[in-house]
């Protein structure tokens, strides 16, 4: 039976039992929605030598070939997924999506990658290419420099190896299978949703 409240403050425990029952399958389909969003990036070049999907796949391919672990590779795959809906803060967008599912180090790396990637082109735009220097003493500084230098930066190569989205799909599903942390976590650690 559907819920009938018109103000969330009047929803009953039974209403919430029904809503949480819908949440599990909805949350389980998150990887499908992410895959859809990645597919939407196909053919979107934005003036770059490869389209946005190819850039994401190539970044992930490079990380995988270099022996990075699964969680890192999935972060590489999704690092620019915010381009469409967060064009002015795309790195924050990806980081927020990844935050419940990945380590603090990987979250920080993705959140800050736009600043660190700026080292390679901000001077062409009248911006400060050394903006990343503010984080020189941060424990994840080196990690993020390397992400940009080894994987993100060189992943604009039309002739570069680009594994298909299907290759990364099982990894994506495993990383997004269950959150490590959530707003909806009870004091005992159990998820309310």
Task: Point out which residues bind Fe ion (CB under 5 A).
Answer: 80, 152
CB distance 59 to 79 below 8 Å: yes
> Residue 75 in contact with residue 109, Cβ under 8 Å?
yes
Q: How far is the CB of 36 from Fe ion (least distance, A)?
A: 19
Beta carbon nearer to Fe ion, 117 or 171: 117
Shortest Å distance, C-beta 110 to Fe ion: 9
Least distance in Å: CB of 26 to Fe ion? 28
**How far apart, in whole angstroms, are the C-alpha atoms of residue 49 and residue 34?**
24
First to last CA, the chain: 19
Give the nearer residue to Fe ion in terms of CB position, either 110 or 172: 110
Residue closer to Fe ion by CB (options 55, 141) is: 55
Torsion of Cα atoms, 120 then 72 then 98 then 83, to 10°: 30
Q: What is the DSSP letter of 126?
A: T
Q: In sequence order, what are the beta bridge partners of 185? A: 191
How many residues in total does the chain contain? 193
Tell the smallest beta-carbon distance from residue 94 to Fe ion (Å).
8
CB nearer Fe ion, residue 54 or residue 172: 54
Alpha-carbon distance of 68 to 71, in angstroms, equals: 8
**Least separation, in Å, of the C-beta of 190 and Fe ion?**
35
Residue 108's CB is within 10 A of a number of other CB atoms, namely 20
User: Measuring CA to CA, which residue among 131, 148, 158 is closest to residue 49?
Assistant: 158
Q: Looking at beta carbons only, is 77 or 171 nearer to Fe ion? A: 77
């Amino acid at each position: 039976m559907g819920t009938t409240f018109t103000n969330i403050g009047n929803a009953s425990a039974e209403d919430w039992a029904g809503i949480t029952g819908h949440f599990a399958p909805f949350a389980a389909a998150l990887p499908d929605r992410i895959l859809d969003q990645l597919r939407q990036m196909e053919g979107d070049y934005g003036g770059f030598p490869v389209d946005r999907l190819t850039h994401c796949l190539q970044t992930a391919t490079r990380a995988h070939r270099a022996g990075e672990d699964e969680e890192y590779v999935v972060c590489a795959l999704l690092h620019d997924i915010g381009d469409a809906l967060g064009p002015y803060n795309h790195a924050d967008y990806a980081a927020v999506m990844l935050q419940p599912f990945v380590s603090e180090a990987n979250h920080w790396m993705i959140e800050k990658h736009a600043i660190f990637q700026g080292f390679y082109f901000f001077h062409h735009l009248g911006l400060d290419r050394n903006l990343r220097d503010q984080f020189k003493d941060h424990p994840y500084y080196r990690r993020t420099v390397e992400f940009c230098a080894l994987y993100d930066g060189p992943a604009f190569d039309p002739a570069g190896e680009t594994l298909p989205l299907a290759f990364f799909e099982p990894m994506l599903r495993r990383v997004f299978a269950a959150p490590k942390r959530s707003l909806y976590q009870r004091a005992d650690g159990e998820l309310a949703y």
